[in-house]
Amino acid sequence: AKTYKIAVLPGDGIGPEVMKQALKVLEKLQTIYDFSLETEEADVGGCAIDKHDTPLPDSTIELCKKADAILFGSVGGPKWENLPPEKQPERGALLPLRKMFDLFSNLRPAIVFPQLADASPLKAEIIGKGFDILIVRELTGGIYFGQPKGKEKDRGFDTMLYTREQIERIAHSAFKAAEKRNKKVCSVDKANVLSTMVFWRETVTEIAKQYPDIELSHMYVDNAAMQLVKNPGQFDVLLCGNMFGDILSDEAAMITGSLGMLPSASLGEKTTDNGAIFGLFEPAGGSAPDIAGKGIANPIAQILSAAMMLIYGLGQEEAGNRIFKAVDKVLTEGYRTADIHSEGCKKVGTEEMGNLITQAL
Ligand code: NAD
Ligand code: IPM
Ligand code: MN
């Protein structure tokens, strides 16, 4: 049986609360399947600033380097948002981790569980039979990382920059994902205004020639934001640069019912000694300071991120799919956390939702 090393970084706010539920689920799975997980926790983000005076301690980096996968909660909060940028949880820990391990391909599946149609702010006729969109977001380039960037007395600036190689590899990720799905890629850009995005569109179009059975379309980001609420069912894979993918993924999450439902996988090209594809797996949402400490956060995004770790990272597809089925079952039974609650359902807290999903495995 294989043993995988997992670096567990719960982080701040609701991070530790939802991570506890994901670990419970993983614990149970090891009694069902023939693999084991050696988990080790480390500090990251605001809690690491408080304890070690840095959001990303060397010991945390070392743990990640030895691991087959990083299971990440979320970082940040009001307490740390006035520190200098590079000392903040987001810019001092999460972004450097993504960059350091070259995790350029961020997969964010927005799936409507039909049982949750009532929780979506969209009308039932728009949700239809449900939808299943995969956002493929470039994660280590674009305006997040382009140089120069800075803040001076009377101006602030960032640089949006993409190289051919960066666009090509994320385009390959999107086309390969589409091959296993409904064979459609919609590339999102702002080629009517931004030169970076003219180059993005040209480069994606060029790579598409290697995937003749995939239907490629292009859409401006403002239109895409609108189309997502008008008719989300038209999309299969949405290919986005770093910032547009960030924005559209929160939107896509919400139309599935809640940001607390959206998991993600951030992958690079590195394979570990164990045959795993190294990656960082985290919910798309943040530390949710408004509900932290109340025991009401939805743990499903974190639990499904653990499922994505099994499927995309460790190659334990059956075990990962079993988590998706368990979540589906618990939702069918009518259990809901506050964020996805609607009339006639049974309201449960974070811990209880974690227990129900664990039992349903
Ligand atoms: P947020 O995603 O934390 O919260 C937005 C809204 O969604 C809030 O109302 C919150 O209660 C709700 N929400 C999010 N996750 C939920 C869950 N699991 N269950 C129920 N409701 C949930 O975004 P924000 O408030 O803009 O940011 C808060 C902090 O989190 C900031 O410091 C931000 O930088 C950080 N952040 C971190 C990550 C990450 O670590 N990956 C991602 C996004 C934001
Ligand atoms: C996300 C988050 C991060 C991002 C922040 C916290 C740096 O919003 O993962 O979506 O913008 O990538
Ligand atoms: Mn985001």
Give per-residue pLDDT as tens, 57-115.
999 999 999 999 999 999 999 999 999 999 999 999 999 999 999 999 999 999 998 88
- CATH class of domain segment(s) 121-255: alpha beta
Q: Is 264 in the pocket of ligand 1 (CB under 6 A)?
A: no
pLDDT of res. 131: 86
Boundaries of every domain in the chain: 1-106+259-361, 121-255
Q: Is the pLDDT of residue 129 over 80?
A: no
- Cβ–ligand 1 distance for 339 under 6 Å, the answer yes
Residue 283 Cα to ligand 1 midpoint, Å, equals 9
250 forms bridges with which residues in the sheet? none
Whether the bond into 109 is cis, omega within 30 of 0: no
Per the structure block, which two tokens stand in for 117? 């149609």
**Known binder of ligand: residue 154?**
no
Identify the bridge partners of residue 223 per DSSP, sorted by sequence position: none
- Would you list the DSSP string of 222-289? HHHHHHHHH-GGG-SEEEE-HHHHHHHHHHHHHHTT-GGG---EEEEEEE-TTSPEEEEE--SS---T
Could you tell me the pLDDT band of residue 153, with boundaries at 50, 70 and 90? very high
Note the pLDDT tens digit of each residue in 18-41: 999 999 999 999 999 999 999 999
Residue 133, pLDDT above cutoff 90: yes
| Structural contact between residues 175 and 207, judged by C-beta atoms closer than 8 angstroms | yes
Mean pLDDT of the region 150-162? 97
Atom from ligand 1 closest to the CA of residue 285? 2
Is 289 annotated as a binding-site member? yes
Q: Order across the sheet with 35-41: list the strands.
A: 35-41, 2-11, 69-74, 277-281, 265-271, 105-111, 132-138, 237-240, 184-189, 215-220
Position 168 scores a pLDDT of: 98
Query: Reduced to 3 states, what is the DSSP secondary structure of residue 7?
Result: strand
Q: In the prediction, which pLDDT does 128 show?
A: 82
The pLDDT tens digits of the residues spanning 182-215 come to 999 999 999 999 999 999 999 999 999 999 999 9
Q: What is the mean pLDDT of the chain?
A: 97
Q: What percent of the chain has pLDDT over 90?
A: 96
Residue 87: is it exposed, middle or buried by C-beta count within 10 angstroms (0-12/13-18/19+)? middle
Ligand 2: which residue has its CA nearest to atom 11? 246
The CA 119 to ligand 1 mean position distance, Å, reads 18
Q: Do 1-106+259-361 and 121-255 have matching folds?
A: yes
Token pair of 189 as six digits: 């850009």
pLDDT band at 222 (very low <50, low <70, confident <90, very high): very high
CB count, 10 Å around CB of 354? 24
- Please tell me the distance from the alpha carbon of residue 246 to that of residue 267, in angstroms, as a whole number: 16
Q: Give the C-alpha separation, 56 to 218, whole Å.
A: 38
pLDDT at 138: 98
Q: Please tell me the predicted confidence (pLDDT) of residue 130.
A: 81
- φ, ψ dihedrals at 304, nearest 5°: -70, -25
- Answer yes or no: are the C-beta atoms of 221 and 188 closer than 8 Å: yes
Cα 263 to Cα 9, 66, 101, 298, 304, distances in angstroms: 15, 24, 19, 12, 6
Provide mean pLDDT across the span 264-292: 97
Q: Residue 127 Cα, ligand 2 centroid: separation in angstroms?
A: 26
Q: What percent of the chain has pLDDT over 70?
A: 100
Q: In what helix (H) or strand (E) does residue 135 lie, and over which residues does it extend?
A: strand 132-138
Nearest Cα neighbor of 199 from 234, 166, 243 is: 166
Residue to mutate (ligand 2; options 72, 90, 243; most atoms within 8 A of CB): 90
Note the pLDDT tens digit of each residue in 241-277: 999 999 999 999 999 999 999 999 999 999 999 999 9
Q: Which residues pair with 106 in a beta bridge?
A: 137, 266
CATH fold of 1-106+259-361 reads Isopropylmalate Dehydrogenase (3.40.718)
Q: Whose CA is nearest to atom 5 of ligand 2?
A: 90
pLDDT at 332 over 90: yes
- 291, two tokens: 């509900």
